[in-house]
Amino acid sequence: MELTKRQKEVLEFIKKVQRASAQTPSLREIARHFGFGSMTAAADHVRALKRKGVLEGSPRRARSLKILSPWENLRRPVVDIPVYGEIPAGFADERQQEAKGCISVDVKSLGIGPTARTFALQVKGDSMIGKHILEGDYVILEQGSIPRSGDVVAALIDQESTLKTFVLQEGNPVLKAENPRYPTLVPVHELMIQGVMVGLIRKVE
Amino acid sequence: MELTKRQKEVLEFIKKVQRASAQTPSLREIARHFGFGSMTAAADHVRALKRKGVLEGSPRRARSLKILSPWENLRRPVVDIPVYGEIPAGFADERQQEAKGCISVDVKSLGIGPTARTFALQVKGDSMIGKHILEGDYVILEQGSIPRSGDVVAALIDQESTLKTFVLQEGNPVLKAENPRYPTLVPVHELMIQGVMVGLIRKVE
DNA sequence: CCATAACCTGTTCATTTGAACAGTTACACG
DNA sequence: CGTGTAACTGTTCAAATGAACAGGTTATGG
């Protein structure tokens, strides 16, 4: 069944509040927002929206409305990934200070767990062009995973975080730059690897 | 200040419930989950978490707890971008049905406005390898912007959405595939262009 | 030894909140 | 003309809920 104009407005308001505060408005708050003299008006609309299958809520439970729109149920929880300029060795838990910014992406798109230690680096230079990683790209990395041969990793070289490809060469782990102009091969010390690439975000223009 | 073990457990429980039901548990629900005989125990922990700055909540408001991620102050509003398998011509406003999924990213990372008509396509094949776009990548596009020469666009060719590079060749707009194996040049009909690429999201592995 | 904090029990109280009841107005439809 | 439905007003009620009060135990550090 189609939603009426008013019902769409109410639904939009609920969505808006949920995004702004991560909380559903109460019936009285809905009524106040639309200037209703009575909260029954809001309750009527919510009941209609429930009947039409776009809202869901546990009975007698405060602020329990949940949007079931075909779009909304595709949503995944969003994680905040800190973007570092460079990563000093050690990588303590509390490093908010050094964060240059923050990227928010839904978990599913990158296939990362909310508990994982995930961070991002903005790529400088074109040393990873062979892996189709460009200057300015944000590379999402996970700390602690074990790199497989061919994985892109962030490594600490000369006090600076650099992206390299992790390769097993005749059984020995080495780091390789993905650019013919920098054919550097570096032997791996365990502690140098700060994270393994799990995703990438590129902004064009 | 550091969180105690118990406080971490309570925080984890709140996170878990929020992920599962998109709703904060009430104090009594927290108490019940941990087997507390009194809800004051839960209230104490919540108060401690608030004091330590990881939780926030409006007073006297039901289920209003909100987790403050350390990067909270860096967060930007998140937009939901529908992912289409293919885009039929016309591109009506209400196309949620066709959406295959949904990507949520913060506005800032991609530099897109919340009002813009943005959508995503998952790349099939390696026809855009020359622009460092790989198979499986999600390309974020904006409908309605005017492409400049060199921009990547989604075009409708043979009833299917395809990614091409938009090029002005001797003054005439043509679409070019970025792969030597497909050197196709197609003259541009205005209506064929469905969106201009503004970003890219790649999931590794 | 004493202060402090974490962690808990048990209870009461004022608000918040969803739900229900009793109506009203306007409008589309047969 | 009646009938139904959307969209309201105004009010009452009981359950849900956060907050506060009055303690009790244990550990930690000065």
> pLDDT of A27-72, one tens digit each?
999 999 999 999 999 999 999 999 999 999 999 999 999 988 766 6
Measured CA angle at B124 (ends B119, B126), to 5 deg:
120
pLDDT of residue A134: 92
pLDDT of residue B89: 46
Q: Rounded to an integer, what distance in angstroms lies between the CA atom of residue A32 and that of residue A66?
A: 20
Looking at CA atoms only, how far is residue B96 from chain A in angstroms? 6
Return the nearest residue to C11, CA–C1'. Answer: B38
- Interface membership of A167 toward B (CB under 8 Å): no
Helices first, then strands: H and E counts in chain A: 4, 11
pLDDT of residue A179: 75
pLDDT of residue B92: 41
- Class of A5-74 in CATH: mainly alpha
Residues lying close to strand C (Cβ under 7 A), chosen from 26-55 of chain A, are 26-29, 39-40, 43, 46
| DSSP states of B10-30 | HHHHHHHHHHHHSSPPPHHHH
- Interface membership of B76 toward A (CB under 8 Å): yes
Sole residue written with tokens 């929020």: B18
pLDDT of residue A107: 65
Sole residue written with tokens 């401690």: B48
pLDDT of residue B201: 93
Backbone phi and psi for residue A66, each to the nearest 5 degrees, phi listed first: -135, 135
Size of interface A-B (CB pairs under 8 A): 142
Looking at CA atoms only, how far is residue A166 from chain B in angstroms? 14
Yes or no: domain B5-72 corresponds to CATH 1.10.10.10: yes
Highest mean pLDDT among A134-148, B93-107, B111-125: A134-148
Looking at CA atoms only, how far is residue A191 from chain B in angstroms? 23
A29: three-class secondary structure by DSSP: helix
Sole residue written with tokens 């600076």: A160
> pLDDT of A1-37, one tens digit each?
789 999 999 999 999 999 888 899 999 999 999 999 9
Do domains B5-72 and B78-201 share one topology? The answer is no
Query: Average pLDDT in the B11-32 region?
Result: 93
Q: Rounded to an integer, what distance in angstroms lies between the CA atom of residue A200 and that of residue A120?
A: 9
Measured CA angle at A110 (ends A116, A159), to 5 deg:
60
Q: Give the closest nucleotide to B44 (alpha carbon vs C1').
A: C7
Backbone phi and psi for residue B43, each to the nearest 5 degrees, phi listed first: -60, -40
Q: Rounded to an integer, what distance in angstroms lies between the CA atom of residue A132 and that of residue B135?
A: 12
* Domain range annotation of chain B: 5-72, 78-201
pLDDT of residue B88: 52
Q: Kindly indicate the confidence band of residue B51, based on its pLDDT and cuts at 50, 70 and 90.
A: very high
- Interface membership of B97 toward A (CB under 8 Å): yes
Express the helix, strand and coil content of chain A in percent, nearest 5 each: 25, 30, 40
Question: Is the model's pLDDT at B135 over the cut of 70?
Answer: yes
> pLDDT of A155-181, one tens digit each?
877 767 788 899 888 888 888 888 777
Average pLDDT value for chain B: 84
- Interface membership of B68 toward A (CB under 8 Å): no
Question: Is the model's pLDDT at A190 over the cut of 90?
Answer: no
B162: three-class secondary structure by DSSP: strand
A141: three-class secondary structure by DSSP: strand
Query: Average pLDDT in the B41-62 region?
Result: 94
B42: three-class secondary structure by DSSP: helix
Q: Rounded to an integer, what distance in angstroms lies between the CA atom of residue A49 and that of residue A42?
A: 11
Q: Rounded to an integer, what distance in angstroms lies between the CA atom of residue B70 and that of residue B6?
A: 20
**A39 CA from C21 C1′ (Å):** 14
Answer yes or no: do A71 and B96 touch at CB < 8 A: yes
Query: Average pLDDT in the B95-103 region?
Result: 67
Return the nearest residue to C20, CA–C1'. Answer: A40
Q: What percent of chain A has pLDDT over 90?
A: 41
Task: Give the mutation candidate from A74, A83, A122, A196 for the B interface (greatest B CB count, under 10 A).
Answer: A74
Yes or no: domain B78-201 corresponds to CATH 2.60.40.1120: no
Query: Average pLDDT in the B107-121 region?
Result: 75
Query: Average pLDDT in the B109-136 region?
Result: 83
Active site annotation includes B164: yes
Do residues A121 and A154 touch, judged by C-beta distance below 8 A?
yes
Highest mean pLDDT among A133-147, A183-197, B169-183: A133-147
Question: Is the model's pLDDT at B97 over the cut of 60?
Answer: no
> pLDDT of A84-104, one tens digit each?
875 554 444 444 446 677 888
Q: Rounded to an integer, what distance in angstroms lies between the CA atom of residue A144 and that of residue A163?
A: 16
Backbone phi and psi for residue A97, each to the nearest 5 degrees, phi listed first: -55, -45
